[in-house]
Amino acid sequence: MPHEYRVGFAVSGRGHLFRSAVLQRDRLGITPAILVVEERSPQDLGSFCAQHGIPCVRLPTNRSALQERIYETCVAANLDLLCLTFDKIIQPELVNHYRERIINVHMSLLPAFPGRDGLGQALQSGVRYAGATIHEVDEEVDHGAIIAQCVTGIRPNDTVNALGARLFGFLRLMYLQVIAWYASGRVFKDDHGRILVHDAVYGGFPISPAVELAFPDER
Could you give the 3-state DSSP secondary structure of residue 1?
coil
Residues identified as active-site: 106
User: What does the DSSP 8-state code read for residue 15?
Assistant: -
* CA–CA dist 60, 40 (Å, integer): 10
| Backbone torsions φ then ψ of 11, nearest 5 degrees | -130, 135
Kindly give the pairing relationship between strand 195-197 and strand 187-189: antiparallel
The dihedral through the CA atoms of 64, 81, 9, 53 has a sign that is negative
